[in-house]
Amino acid sequence: MILGLSTSAFTTVHVIISLIGILSGIVVVLGWLGGKQSGGLAALFLASTVLTSATGYLFQSASFGPPQVVGAISLVVLAAAILALYGFGLAGFWRWIYIIGATLALYLNCFVGVVQSFQKLPFLQPLAPTQSEPPFLIAQIAVLVIFVLLGFLGLRRFHPAAGAAG
């Protein structure tokens, strides 16, 4: 039992929160490419991604390993992104911190999604049973390249007026 839920129910809630974070994050990042920011979707993305990382720590683990490291990195970059957006209104270099932090947090959520997909989905498991096979590596490299490109384009195209970002 986790927070009064069976492990299965908690896992389902965690996955739903993760998917909300990924989907809303994709919409936010694509908005940047058009020079726009959606305040409500940005808030949903940031909140659900914080919840995803935080609830990940509630799963049983014998040691502090890669999932916890990814969660810690995500929470740190999310804190910086939230501070940049809501504390400093994306003024000056805070726009860069927001875009890079939010993009990195979304990438990490998608990175974990790829890992979990290859672990849990029956049609992907045989392609990379140890997650060191080419299909897994190609998928992870593709996700990384996509997010580096999206982050770069976001930095070039998203320039909100100071104070109007949140």
Q: Which pLDDT tens digit goes with each residue over 32-59?
A: 999 888 889 999 999 999 999 999 888 8
| C-alpha pair distances (Å), 64 with each of 61, 68, 91, 133, 139 | 7, 6, 36, 25, 25
Q: What pLDDT, on the 0 to 100 scale, is given for residue 59?
A: 82
Q: Which pLDDT tens digit goes with each residue over 150-160?
A: 999 999 999 98
**Mean pLDDT estimate for the chain:** 91
Q: Which residue has the higher pLDDT, 92 or 65?
A: 92
pTM of the model: 0.90
What percent of the chain has a predicted confidence (pLDDT) above 70? 97
